[in-house]
Chains A and B, each alone.
Chain A
Amino acid sequence: MRFIKPDINIEFIGRKKIAFFLSIVCIAISVLSLIIHKGPRLGVDFAGGTLVQIKFASTVRIDDIKSGLGTIGLGKSSVQQFGQQTDNEFLIRTEISYEGGEGFTTDIKNALESSTEGEVEIRRVEMVGPQVGEDLRKKALFAMFYALLFITIYISGRFELKWMLSGVVAAALIGAVYIFNLFSVSIPFLIGAALIVTLIIFWFLELKYAMGAIVALIHDVIITVGIFSILDKEFALPIIAALLTIIGYSLNDTIIVFDRIRENLRKYHKKPLAFIINRSINETLGRTILTSMTTLVVVVTLFILGGGIIHDFAFALIIGIVVGTYSSIFVASPILLAWQNHAKK
């Protein structure tokens, strides 16, 4: 059985302008949404606060829950249905973190049982103090930063087969980060600066494959974060795990296509680059789509059956895999070509 015929020949490179336009629009919307929402919406893990998951034995009205919370001074908390409607489960979120406070959950249980006249089960409590929230935020950003750094070093070495150069890239990058660190700038800025330095280094050292891969990577992460922002979903620790997985996984397809391009460059060295790239994408189209599809199948299963706690995590992976597949065809490879055209001028 075959979905993709071996002699398939779709014009991808010819449509690169449409693809670029689409990508830029997506990124612009993502960035715009982030600006409007004043950055990603941080969950309890990063912003600090308390999250309580409760389950009622019978159906209750959200207003009764809210009035019950009001009696113990938690009237400002957000209350949200969790999972299926028939589960009678709710998430209560408050910015208050009760450092050292005793009997907090018992208070909630008692208040809700008297206001809703139903039996309450406290299923989960997550309290993160502001200090720990800040620590976790830092850790998450550093994790993103180091993942990007190491992957950059790896692909600049592997794609170009110049490990010496990759060492230079690493040294330059670490040096740049060190200098920025002297000015004690914030970590998001540090990541941004490191990425720009990376791209500049790639530009000057003419590491075009690495450049394509990194641009595609940034593209995937921005759009995933953007979609989360547009849907007003919360950033919690598992989402960072999902983003890192996307960083690692979305390169897979790019690597497959790039390897084939290099192989075909030797095979058809008389042909123009646009032809070789297009042919390479077509030749590897089958495995690009199949590998993404098998992974997508399991992640969608997880999204549907995995339950509320893992829902957003699975959702982030779905977006990441879809966008990552798109970018390896429509972003990473065309950048190679754009580079070539630029070099000729």
Chain B
Amino acid sequence: MKKFSWKLILVFAVIVAAVIHVLPTFEPGLWPHKQINLGLDLQGGMHLVLEVDTAKAVEGQVERIAQEIRDQLRKERLRKVSLNRIDGNKISATIQDPQILEKFNALLKADFDFLKRSPRTESGASIIILEIPAAEAENTKRLAVDQALETIRNRIDQFGVAEPDIRRQGEKRILIQLPGIKDPDRAKDLIGRTALLEFKLVDDTQDVNTAVKGNVPAGREVLYRVDEDPDTGNITKVPFLLKKRTLLTGANLTNARVDFDQFNIPHVSINFDKKGARDFERITGDNVNKRLAIVLDDTVASAPVIQEKIAGGQARITGDFTLDEAKDLAIVLRAGALPAPVNILEERTVGPSLGADSIRKGLLSMLIGGILVVLFMVVYYKGAGVIADVALILNIILIAGGLAAAGATLTLPGIAGIILTIGMAVDANVIIFERIREELTLGRTVRAAVDAGFKRATLTILDANVTTLIAAIVLFQFGTGPIKGFAVTLSLGVIASLFTALVLSRLVFDYILGSRKVKTLSI
């Protein structure tokens, strides 16, 4: 008996460890151990993969640099330099006068030396193409993804989702998992909008209608306000001719919150930081009686007339908001704008009722399948079948314990993996029992037959399981989400069934055979 007592200790240790890990799932708070995580396909929720349009971030940066050069030119009173952004991420400067060219070059050298300059002449005019260096552009792209990740995390935190999982995936993708989300469309809207808030002046000196027809004056742009009739749902678009120059952005906000006017209609109140407040005071002071457009993601929210200089750094954004829309707007303004637009590449949403259905159906299949296998083993192998059944039940406990211990996620395919394991776990016992029967038919004693059965079957069982394990591990490497859950339970199942068949069953047989002289075996 002494010979295999270490096995006994091992088996008990494994069982106790598994039970310790499993119990909190059924009795939360029993002791501080993690519960088995349920995948989004079981508890309901939303899985999103976003891609940050990093090229747009670089374009934005180039646009800002062009603006800075223009400002600088104005300061130095250098006229007749025409600056344009071309190919998305380059600036072309066209200069006719060689004297100005010289001064312009000096300006670039002094303040914009980091830009790559490639000059050429074309029909008498000098053209300088300015480019930000590749390394700098790469850096901008990387920062854009980092910042988008941070911003989205902030937005989701403020929206209030329990245990969101937000992480970077690859170079410019962001993976978002929001368990138990009730209004996926609203969440998607909140995550996906750029939320770039800009203040621009309305140009009322020129006719907006000629501009709409395609004849937009230099330095101007046409943006629209979208009005929805609350009764008919009809959408009308009102055009505005705006000065392209952005006077102030949402980057200078310190707070944004929902307020109500005297008619109880919601709007968003915003507070500027010190610089923003100063700028806002100057802008409003310089432009009394003109209209200031509040532009959100290239759509005009409203364009009120400036009545007087506004000091104190407070403003309000009114518009056609429902309460939820106003709340979401306040959240995205507080969390800040995304540095570049994001596109949704993949979405998988499961409603909570479907998730509950899946759990119910999965568990039912597991129960029925399990009972069928358990009954079959008892009927076919009698006493030995009972040993196999004990091993099988333990097997499931071990898988559950493994899941909890590894902090893995149980998905619907994961449940299927457990069900499959139930069928495969008894395979090892079948192989051993058939071998034992064979040895008994050859006329060996019970002891010898059992020993030979285990000895001969061990290698076969190992081989058979190793190939399944290889497939499961490869699947784990390449699989995503729910499929990974299948790979996990299948791998755990294979390992657990090796343990229960080769160690546990053996131990039980040894115990039965060791305790008394056994003449016959119930097999």
Contact = CB atoms under 8 A, between A and B. Distances in A.
Please indicate whether A and B come from the same complex rather than being unrelated chains.
yes
A259 B438 CA distance: 15
Contact of B372 (A100, A132, A252, A297): A297
Given A102-B189, A310-B412, A317-B420, A291 B490 contact: no
Interface string A128-165: 11011000100110110011001100110010000000
The winner among A143, A249, A301, A307 for most chain B CB atoms within 10 A is A301
Interface string B17-44: 0000000000000000000000001000
A142 B475 CA distance: 10
Interface in B362-378: 362, 364-365, 368-370, 372-373, 376-377
Interface stretch (A226-234, A239-247, A272-280): A239-247
Nearest to A317: B420
A143 B479 contact: yes
A297 B369 contact: yes
Contact of B416 (A1, A286, A314): A314
A290 interface: yes
Contacts, number: 229
Sort chain B's interface into a size bin. 35 or more
A184 interface: no
Contacts of A259: 459-460, 463
A143 B471 CA distance: 9
A301 B365 contact: yes
B441 interface: yes
Contact of B475 (A104, A126, A241, A313): A241
Contacts of B412: 309-310
A147 B431 contact: no
Interface string A282-301: 01101100110011111101
A208 to B, nearest CB: 17
Contact of A125 (B184, B343, B365, B420): B184
A103 interface: yes
A238 interface: yes
A177 interface: no
Contacts of B354: 53, 123-124
Contact of B353 (A121, A290, A302): A121
Q: Is the interface of B mostly helix, strand, loop or mixed?
A: helix
A122 B351 contact: yes
Given A123-B350, A247-B471, A287-B434, A99 B343 contact: yes
Contacts of B364: 305
A59 interface: no
Nearest to B371: A301
Contact of B460 (A101, A256, A297): A256
Q: Is the interface of A mostly helix, strand, loop or mixed?
A: helix
B177 to A, nearest CB: 14
Contacts of A143: 474-475, 477-479
Contacts of A125: 184, 347-349
Given A100-B343, A154-B470, A245-B420, A283 B185 contact: no
A247 B486 CA distance: 15
Contact of B49 (A132, A251, A307): A132
B345 to A, nearest CB: 4
Contacts of A103: 185, 189
Contact of A256 (B351, B424, B431): B431
A268 B480 CA distance: 50
A154 B373 contact: no
B292 interface: no
B469 interface: yes
Contact of B438 (A124, A240, A283, A298): A283
A306 interface: yes
A237 interface: yes
A220 to B, nearest CB: 12
Contacts of B307: none
Interface string A242-271: 001101110110011001000100000000
A295 B493 CA distance: 13
B342 interface: yes
A333 to B, nearest CB: 15
Interface residues of A, number: 75
A132 B346 contact: yes
A105 interface: yes
A23 B360 CA distance: 39
Nearest to A100: B343
Given A139-B478, A143-B475, A297-B373, A128 B346 contact: yes
Contact of B350 (A124, A150, A298): A124
A131 B365 contact: no
A154 B469 CA distance: 11
A290 B381 CA distance: 12
Interface string A87-127: 00000000000111111111000000000000001111111
A1 B471 contact: no
A154 B490 CA distance: 19
B356 to A, nearest CB: 11
A14 interface: no
Given A248-B472, A283-B438, A290-B434, A105 B185 contact: yes
A6 interface: yes
30 contacts: A6-B441, A98-B344, A102-B185, A102-B188, A105-B349, A124-B351, A125-B347, A127-B344, A139-B480, A143-B478, A151-B471, A238-B483, A238-B486, A241-B486, A244-B471, A244-B472, A245-B471, A248-B469, A249-B468, A252-B467, A255-B463, A256-B464, A259-B459, A283-B438, A297-B369, A298-B370, A298-B373, A302-B419, A310-B362, A314-B416
Interface of B: 41, 49, 51, 184-185, 188-189, 192, 341-351, 353-354, 357-358, 361-362, 364-365, 368-370, 372-373, 376-377, 379-382, 412-413, 416, 419-420, 422-424, 426-427, 430-431, 434, 437-438, 441, 456, 459-460, 463-464, 466-472, 474-475, 477-480, 482-483, 486-487, 490
Given A143-B477, A252-B468, A299-B423, 8 more contacts: A99-B343, A124-B349, A132-B49, A154-B467, A238-B413, A249-B468, A294-B423, A297-B423
In the complex, the 9 A-B pairs of residues with the closest C-beta atoms, listed nearest first: A248-B471, A295-B423, A143-B478, A298-B369, A248-B468, A298-B423, A301-B369, A252-B464, A307-B361
